[in-house]
């Protein structure tokens, strides 16, 4: 349970892992926009090739990428049913007991499923190849220009990185409280809904108390070490763009332009 | 000029019950002072006042000759560091190197110099092999050593230890105590340690005993431990080494008492 990480970073040695988080985030944004452009089958083929290429270059296991799709299956099934019921245009394909299925319904569903799949894969590639902290740093640097209009970029980044830092600590704490309460006879698994709610309360209340206590001590430690959010700070980690970053960004812009082109023409 | 000079300090959290009552003491540069006292005697409050996390009701604190107030606190924090009790709640970075860098970032050290400083201080606390380790993979003692490294990185004149060993296992406790002793010996850093650990008190130069917010006793460890009855009234013990030494003296084996266990061992080895 201690190894739970947000977005499940996969420590592999690949070109994509070595890329600058900023360029990876930008590419993801470009592709997200491209996915939502109705460029038809050709558009999805272009995006698909790009995404499969990135999946290949990142050395990620295809099985792993497919596994991340599992929670989406129900949603996809749900969309399929809704679409089959609602869309009544196009040519009727076949009918079961007087209920006709139309071609547009099938097409529409396929589009949505493909879109969802592409989006899941692209975010998986991003989070699996980028350490959470690098991601935070990338977000911070990308938000930097917006600091002039009052976006507190480095404060946002500090909040995210501290939250990430304390996820394992809080999981450990939860486990400890669960054990402590179980040893006092609290049953977290069995019982009626009311009993379960009471049992969970006995977990949540001490967890909150200790989390606030931790926050207080952490704030003291940060202040004592000279942290002041209103002051200028230097940074230990620096990001560096390389040829591969520029190349892949240009390529992703091409993909986006191609999709726009197909849509407009 | 003293490292820390506290004069007529009074403090209360609620405005009614004074936690510290008119406390005055001074700590010379380069010395190693421990503050002991029963729970609720105001020890930790004292540490928070000196580092400027709390503000005194009355009296003043001077650090390196400069008065601690709202304007000077930020500047003074580059001369003074504190290691707290809970190893988890002061680990800010997501790896050891990031955590050591945190203080450097706050004090605007240039990025190019950071790596060298980090490697240097990690070496001084014996954590070189763990620079890219995450905090969950470290023991309590290792986390406290990282905290010490993070403070050493900003080259402080004073380090405060606020019950830094109380949550550690005996091994971790011993390693941090040895680290503190090493710091005291090798560099001109003033050490102020708030502790329950009598073995650590025995290795310090000066002891301040707080009781109910007032200074009850002050002196060298030997002076303090001589008044065993008075200590017992405050629910404070004497170190194990001294207990053995006293028994040995009773039996005529030792002529003089010593405080530290390693001194006892050394003396025993030299007996003819």
pLDDT tens for the 272 residues of chain B, in order:
889 999 999 999 888 888 999 999 999 999 999 999 888 888 889 999 999 999 888 899 999 999 998 889 988 999 999 999 999 999 998 889 999 999 999 999 999 999 999 999 999 999 999 998 888 889 999 999 999 999 999 999 999 999 999 889 988 998 999 999 889 987 779 999 999 888 889 889 999 999 988 999 999 988 888 888 888 888 888 888 888 888 888 888 888 888 888 888 888 888 87
Q: How many residues are present in chain A?
A: 265
Q: What is the pLDDT of residue A215?
A: 93
Residue B106 lies in a domain: no
In a domain, B212, yes or no: yes
Residue A110, pLDDT > 90, answer: no
CB contact under 8 A, B108 and A224: no
Are B17 and B213 in contact, with CB atoms under 8 Å apart? no
What is the residue whose two structure tokens read 């050290």? B109
Considering only CA atoms, which of A1, A13, A19, A6 is closest in space to residue A241?
A: A19
Angstrom distances, CA of residue A65 to CA of A7, A56, A235, B131: 12, 11, 34, 31
**In this complex, do B77 and A232 lie within 8 Å of one another by their Cβ atoms?**
no
B164 and B268 share one domain: no
Give Rg (Cα) of chain A.
24
Q: Mark whether B234 and B247 lie in a shared domain.
A: no
Q: Clarify whether residues B68 and B14 are in a common domain.
A: yes
Residue ranges covered by each domain of chain A: 15-145+240-264, 153-224
Q: Do residues B252 and B270 share a domain?
A: yes
DSSP single-letter state for residue B255: S
Closest CA to A124 of A66, A72, A53: A66
Task: For residue B182, give how far its alpha carbon lies from the nearest alpha carbon of chain A (Å).
Answer: 22
| DSSP string over B165-183 | TTTS-HHHHHHHHHHHHHH
Q: Among candidates B122, B5, B117, which has minimal Cα distance to B62?
A: B5
What is the C-alpha separation between B250 and A24, in angstroms, rounded?
75
pLDDT of residue A5: 38
**Mean per-residue pLDDT for A164-180?**
89
Q: CA angle, corner A96, sides to A91 and A101, nearest 5?
A: 25
Q: What is the pLDDT of residue B111?
A: 92
Q: Please tell me whether residues B233 and B271 are part of one structural domain.
A: no
What is the nearest CA distance from A69 to chain B, expressed in angstroms? 29
Please report the pLDDT score of residue A6 as a whole number: 41
Residue B163 near residue B85 (C-beta atoms within 8 A): yes
B36 and B48 both lie in a single domain? yes
Q: Which of A173, A224, A227 to mutate to test the interface with B (most CBs of B within 10 A)?
A: A224
* Mean pLDDT value across residues A100-123: 85
Model-wide pTM > 0.90? no
CA A100 to chain centroid, in Å, comes to: 38
Instruction: State pLDDT tens for residues A141-154.
Output: 999 899 888 888 88
Query: Same domain for B60 and B30?
Result: yes
* pLDDT at position A257: 93
The residue with greater pLDDT, A112 or A20, is A20
Which of B70, B80, B91, B92 is the best mutation test for A, with the most CBs of A within 10 A?
B92
Report the b/e string of B99-110 with b at 16+ CB within 10 A.
bbbbbbbbbebe
Report the gap between the CA of B48 and the closest CA in chain A (Å). Answer: 9
**In-domain check, residue B8:** yes
pLDDT, position B227: 87
> Considering just the CA atoms, what is the radius of gyration of chain B in Å?
19
* Residue B268 forms part of a structural domain: yes
Contacts of B110 in chain A (CB under 8 A): 234
Q: Residue B248 contacts by C-beta under 8 Å, 6 or more apart in sequence?
A: B254, B264, B268
What is the per-residue pLDDT for B102?
93
DSSP symbol at A227: -
Number of domains in chain B: 2
pLDDT score for A33: 93
**Which residues of chain B lie closer than 8 angstroms to A133, CB-CB?**
94, 98
pLDDT tens column, A72-95 = 788 888 888 888 888 777 777 777
Residue B39's domain is classified under what CATH number? 3.40.50.300
C-alpha distance across the termini of chain A, in Å: 52
Average pLDDT, chain A: 86
Interchain proximity B81–A222, CB inside 8 Å: no
Helices A103-129 and A40-57: angle between axes, nearest 10 degrees: 20
Residue B239 in tokens: 């170190």
Tokens of B138: 């470290």
Q: How confident is the model at residue A7 (pLDDT cuts 50, 70, 90)?
A: low
**Helices (runs of H) and strands (runs of E) counted in chain A:** 10, 2
Same domain, B197 and B268: no
Cβ proximity of B103 and A225 under 8 Å: yes
Token pair for residue B269? 């080895």
Does the ipTM exceed 0.85? yes
On whether both B224 and B253 belong to a single domain, the answer is: no
Q: Which two tokens stand for residue B130?
A: 């763990």
Distances (CA, A) of B256 to A99, B246, B261: 104, 9, 14
CB contacts, 8 Å: B88 with chain A: 169, 214
Give the CA-trace dihedral at B131, B134, B140, B141, to 10 degrees.
-10
Whether B104 sits inside 8 A of A162 (CB atoms) is no
In the block, residue with structure tokens 């809080």: A170
Distance of CA B55 to the CA centre of its chain: 21
Helices (H), A130-192: 132-143, 153-183
A204: which 2 tokens?
Answer: 């949540």
Closest CA to B238 of B254, B252, B221: B221
Specify the length of chain B in residues. 272
Q: Give the pairing of strands B214-219 and B206-211.
A: antiparallel
How many CA within 13 A on the CB side of residue B101?
22
Q: How confident is the model at residue A261 (pLDDT cuts 50, 70, 90)?
A: very high
Shared-domain flag, residues B72 and B164: yes
A239/B contact by beta carbon, under 8 A: no
pLDDT at residue B31, rounded to an integer: 92
> What is the CA B24 to chain-centroid distance, rounded?
18
A162 neighbourhood in chain B, CB within 8 Å: 92
* Dihedral of the alpha carbons of A218, A223, A226, A228, in degrees to the nearest 10: 110
Based on the number of CB atoms within 10 Å of its own CB, is B71 exposed (0-12), middle (13-18) or buried (19 or more)? exposed
Taking CA–CA distances from A238, the nearest residue in chain B reads: B111
Going B91 to B95 to B101 to B105, the CA torsion angle's sign is negative
Binary contact (B105, A235; C-beta < 8 A) = yes
- DSSP symbol at B53: S
Say if residue A1's pLDDT is above 70. Answer: no
Which residue range is the domain that position B198 belongs to?
1-79+159-168+193-238
| Predicted confidence (pLDDT) at residue A4 exceeds the cutoff of 50 | no
Whether B154 maps to a domain, the answer reads no
With CB atoms and an 8 Å threshold, state whether A162 touches B53. Answer: no
Q: Are residues B164 and B232 in the same domain?
A: yes
User: Which of A100-114, A232-246, B69-83, B115-129 has the lowest average pLDDT?
Assistant: A100-114
Paired residues of B207 in beta bridges: B34, B219
Q: Is residue B30 a contact partner of residue B89, using CB atoms and an 8 Å limit?
A: no
CB-CB neighbours of B233 under 10 Å: 12
């Amino acid at each position: 349970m201690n190894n739970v990480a947000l977005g499940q970073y996969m420590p592999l040695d690949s070109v994509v892992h070595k890329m600058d988080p900023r360029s990876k985030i930008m590419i993801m944004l470009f592709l997200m926009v491209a996915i939502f452009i109705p460029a038809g089958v050709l558009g999805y083929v272009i995006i698909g090739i790009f995404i499969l290429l990135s999946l290949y270059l990142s050395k990620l296991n295809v099985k792993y990428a497919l596994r991340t799709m599992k929670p989406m299956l129900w949603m996809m099934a749900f969309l399929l049913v809704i679409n089959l019921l609602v869309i009544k245009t196009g040519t009727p394909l076949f009918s079961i007991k007087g209920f006709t299925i139309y071609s547009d319904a099938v097409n529409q569903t396929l589009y949505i499923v493909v879109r969802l799949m592409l989006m899941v894969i692209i975010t998986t590639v991003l989070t699996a190849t980028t350490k959470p902290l690098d991601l935070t740093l990338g977000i911070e640097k990308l938000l930097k220009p917006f600091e002039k209009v009052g976006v507190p970029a480095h404060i946002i980044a500090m909040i995210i990185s501290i939250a990430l830092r304390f996820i394992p600590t809080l999981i450990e704490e939860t486990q400890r409280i669960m054990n402590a309460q179980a040893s006092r006879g609290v049953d977290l698994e069995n019982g009626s809904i009311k009993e379960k709610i009471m049992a969970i309360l006995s977990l949540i209340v001490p967890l909150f108390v200790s989390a606030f206590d931790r926050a207080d001590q952490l704030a003291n430690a940060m202040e004592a070490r000279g942290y002041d959010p209103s002051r200028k700070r230097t940074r230990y980690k620096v990001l560096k763009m390389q040829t591969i970053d520029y190349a892949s960004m240009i390529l992703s812009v091409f993909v986006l332009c191609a999709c726009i082109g197909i849509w407009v023409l | 000029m003293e490292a820390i000079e506290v004069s007529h300090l009074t403090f209360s959290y609620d405005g009614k019950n004074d936690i510290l009552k008119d406390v005055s003491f001074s700590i010379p540069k380069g010395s190693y002072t421990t503050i002991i006292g029963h729970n609720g005697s105001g020890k930790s409050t004292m540490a928070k006042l000196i580092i400027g996390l709390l503000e005194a009701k009355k009296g003043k604190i001077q650090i390196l000759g400069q008065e601690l107030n709202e304007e000077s606190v930020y500047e003074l924090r580059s001369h003074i560091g504190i290691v707290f009790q809970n190893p988890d709640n002061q680990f800010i970075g997501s790896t050891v190197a990031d955590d050591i860098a945190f203080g450097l970032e706050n004090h605007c050290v240039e990025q190019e110099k950071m790596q060298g400083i980090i490697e240097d201080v990690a070496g001084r606390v014996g954590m070189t092999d763990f620079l890219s380790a995450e905090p969950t993979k470290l023991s309590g003692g290792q986390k406290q050593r990282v905290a010490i490294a993070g403070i050493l990185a900003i080259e402080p004149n004073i380090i405060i230890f606020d019950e830094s060993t109380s949550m550690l296992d005996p091994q971790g406790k011993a390693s941090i105590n040895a680290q503190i002793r090493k710091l005291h010996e090798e560099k001109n850093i003033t050490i102020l340690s708030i502790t329950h650990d009598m073995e650590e008190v025995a290795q310090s130069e000066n002891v301040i005993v707080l009781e109910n917010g007032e200074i009850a006793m002050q002196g060298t460890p030997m002076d303090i431990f001589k008044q065993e009855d008075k200590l017992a009234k405050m629910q404070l013990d004497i170190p194990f080494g001294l207990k053995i030494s006293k028994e040995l003296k009773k039996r005529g084996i030792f002529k003089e008492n010593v405080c530290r266990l390693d001194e006892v061992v050394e003396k025993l080895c030299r007996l003819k």
